[in-house]
Amino acid sequence: MKIALTKIFLLMLITAILCSCRIQSFSKTKDSINRNFTNYEVFLNSEKISLDTVYLDKDNIKSIKINKLEKNIHITQKNKNVEYFSPIDFTKKYLTICPNTDRTVVINGVLAENTTLKRIEIGAIKNISILRMKTPEIYSNCMNGTLVITLK
């Protein structure tokens, strides 16, 4: 009887330890990684990145592995062939097409010029809307306005 209870207890203990480790590895957020692992190199699918310049879709993250000895973090995505939106490239392309317009990009309430974000995973975008400053002319493809992006 004691042996059976001991086996059940050990099985429950091992299960609890394994489950808690798995939950902990998936609960890392960008802010907690930046706060707790400031000097670590970050790799996304074996490519070195900076978390300050890339915004990832949390639903597309398969695993996050932190190696404290080598001081690096490996993030693996479920779908590795994702598209990214670049607010800087968008503004440059739009100003090339429509040079006499005023186009700004706002990401989560902050001007894109004031953020370090260079790439945003398309799946991480919750909503995109355009706030028009002036009523565009009927035949004009160019308009003044603000592109507002809300992230998940």
Sheet with 61-67, strands from edge to edge, namely 47-49, 41-44, 72-77, 61-67
State pTM to two decimals. 0.68
pLDDT digits (tens, 9 = 90+) for 3-56: 877 888 777 777 766 655 443 343 467 777 777 788 889 999 989 998 888 999
Question: Looking up tokens 């670049």, which residue turns up?
Answer: 86
Q: What is the separation of C-alpha 105 from the centre of its chain, rounded to a whole number of angstroms?
A: 18
Give how far the C-alpha of residue 67 lies from the chain's centroid of Cα atoms, to the nearest Å. Answer: 21
Using one digit for the tens of pLDDT, what is the confidence trace for 124-147?
999 988 777 665 555 456 666 788
